[in-house]
Amino acid sequence: MPVFKKELKLSSQMSLNVMNETHLHLGRGVCGNFEQAVEREWLVTNGMGGYASGTVGDLNTRRYHGLLMAALTPPAGRTLLVAKMDVTVRYGGKTYPLFCNEFVDGTVTPHGYLHLETFFMDGTVPVWHYALADALIEKRVLMAPGQNTTYLHFRILRASDTLELELKPLCTYRDYHSHSHGDWDMHISEIRNGFKAHASQSARSYRIICNGAKFIADPAWYWNFKHRVETVRGMDDSEDLFCPGRFTLTLDEGRDTTCVMSAESTAPKKFAVISAQIHESSQALLAVLPADAPHWIRQLALATEQFIVDRYHDGRPTGKTLIAGYPWFGDWGRDTMIALPGLTLALKRFDMAASILRTFAAHINEGMLPNRFPDHGEMPEYNTVDATLWYFNAVDQYTRRSGDITLAKALYPVLVDIIAYHRKGTRYGIKVDVRDGLLAAGEEGTQLTWMDAKIGDWVVTPRIGKAVEVNALWYNALAIMADLSKQLGRKKLAGEYCKATAQVRSSFQRFWNDEQSYLYDVIDGPEGVSDSDERKLDSRLRPNQIFAVSLPNSPLNKKQQKAVVDVCARELLTSNGLRSLAPDQHGYVPYYRGNPLQRDAAYHQGTVWAWLIGPFVDAHYRVYRDADKARSFLEPLGLHLGEACVGSVSEIFDAESPFAPRGCFAQAWSVSEVLRAWLDLNDGAHNRLMNTSIGKGKSR
């Protein structure tokens, strides 16, 4: 019998407190409804790119679900080792399966979710309570920070008799983008309280142990599991999994057991130790929030932890980076720089922010920030024009919020070099047009802006030429460099940057669509309609223009700022973010559905992006100066926290009601921008972070 641990009394009391406080407490109405239980997902991460994820109903609906998705080359090399643990309980002469599986023939069995009384988040830890007659069983999943180790913990909260538990691990060894098929030999060797699995000669071994349990080897393949979300996505949707055997044990009321799954060579720490470590970290994070912060803001603050990871070199952490989104994104330059203020600076994690900025500075090449670090350690990809410009904003936000210019001073030569490369020209036609000072970018077959969907050779939204948000960012970067140069006593460069800022501010008027009273999306590109000024104009109503108002340095006058905010509010605003294209525009797609080609074709053609609500709120406050009204635009996303990945914010949503969540179920910049905008409005930071002076050589 496992030994009862007194330390876990604290954990149970914490659970009750959270249940009384949180609005993310799902009851029988959701948990006992199959469709709802398998649409809600949960996520646990380990701070190195690995994670565990699944559904509230314990049915794996994605290829990306699993109890141990290890990052074998952190933060990349994600490899699924343990897909799930099927648990059966025998109590009072009856058998209760707590799990659920779906197979390719449409069979769903068993229906363990029917015993699920409640699901809730205890901070960042998902918790299930199963009611079996008069017994109540608690299940928790957590990961050890900095290790590819998952803990599956069971505790008997209430029972009048002994319970018998049987745990069947379903295992594999495959890349997280793929599926495992076929009957291949996985070597299993028994160890104390469990077994070690070795998939192949080149594979890393992993082990599963369960304290107080007996492991009975009974190796067998289980065939044709169905992942229903992959069916909807038009992808391969079936998988075969290997079961090495089963764990059996008995528990009485007040007793507990932990099943540990690990790809690490060192002995795992005790569950109570890891649980306390996670709780302490969460409490420290929440301590920086305002005392009156609502529960959904507190939950978002905790969700930020999931995206901050270590970047490794030669097996050791070398600095911090951000995961763009779960379950399939890695660390992307653009996403990192946009998300950095909300995930770190707004929560006063300045050392963490500085580490991220230094990490990316080391990878700047030819004046460009990497767009993406590939999954398997290949060279970074530099196909982005805006990520580098967002870097200037992130450095500036660090300086403003921390009050420390030391980092900006250290990075100043890098920033100067970036500006120089953009002036003389760098990859993909990125170069300043000397005639107007605006930044042009793009080549046939490439996608350089955040609207980056590409299907084979088809770039869905190429935006070659001078894109509006790119030049809003360019103006902001020049203004930042002018100010920083003055502070550092670099008078000559300060003068040059001031002159360039003034030129761009004047030339930015070329984006103004006087007839429609909003900004053209792209000018001087190969597509669009020519005007008397011999510009090629893309007049489609998109949200990219909002950055010309939301960034700290705006090139627009007050009347134009208001017009931009108002048109975005009328045509693009939804409860969950901004549409990527107005409904009355050519090419508008109302729903993000179908196979990869259909989905990518809709990605930026109307689909709602949650992260854009942050810039919209910034811009709205800049124009109307009403913090309460601006903050009200964020509140509907608080309700979303219980809809998809419980406690997090999805990447995108359909463009029409009911605005179903789509894409990644937990997205860094979605979480970041909602949290940052709310916190900034709450403490008046917007007034400190925006440049509002108007005059020669000054930003507007």
The token pair at 265 is 């060579």
Largest CA distance in the chain: 86
Cα distances (Å, whole numbers) of residue 158 to 7, 130, 133, 134, 655: 18, 10, 10, 7, 46
pLDDT of residue 391: 98
Q: Give pLDDT, residue 535.
A: 72
Tokens of 405: 């210019």
Q: What is the DSSP letter of 316?
A: E
Rounded Cα distance between 365 and 155, Å, is 52
Q: Quickly count: other Cβ atoms within 10 Å of residue 698's Cβ.
A: 17
User: Distance of CA 333 to CAs 566, 586, 643, 688, Å?
Assistant: 31, 31, 28, 26
Whole-number Å distance between alpha carbons of 333 and 338:
9
Angle at 110 between CA 107 and CA 114, to 5 degrees: 120
71: β partners: 78
Sequential DSSP letters for 176-201 = TTS---S----EEEEETTEEEEE-ST
Q: What is the DSSP letter of 564?
A: H
State residue 4's pLDDT score: 35
**CA–CA gap between residue 463 and residue 448 (Å, rounded):** 8
Residue 575 structure tokens: 């409860």
Between CA 262 and CA 694 the distance in angstroms is 59
Residue spans per domain, the chain: 8-281, 288-689
What number of other Cβ atoms are within 10 A of residue 631's Cβ? 17
Reply yes or no on domain 288-689 having CATH 1.50.10.10: yes
What does the pLDDT read at residue 184? 85
Structural fold of domain 8-281: Beta-galactosidase; Chain A, domain 5 (2.70.98)
Write the CB contacts of 127 (distance below 8 Å, at least 6 apart in sequence): 15, 119, 120, 121, 138, 139, 140
Residue 443 CA to residue 461 CA, distance in Å, equals: 12
Q: Is 512 left (phi over 0), alpha (psi -120 to 50) or beta?
A: beta
Average pLDDT of adjacent 10-residue blocks, the chain of 700 residues: 38 38 80 97 97 98 98 94 98 98 97 98 97 98 97 98 98 96 89 95 96 95 97 96 98 98 96 97 96 95 97 85 96 96 98 95 95 73 96 98 97 98 97 97 92 87 95 98 98 98 98 97 83 80 98 98 98 98 97 94 97 98 97 96 97 97 98 98 82 40
3-class SS of residue 441: strand
Q: What integer pLDDT is reported at residue 643 of this predicted model?
A: 94
Rounded CA separation 674/616 (Å): 11
Q: Which amino acid is at 48?
A: M
Helix axes 271-286, 8-21, angle to 10 degrees: 40
The CA-based angle 350-353-359, given to 5 degrees, is 140
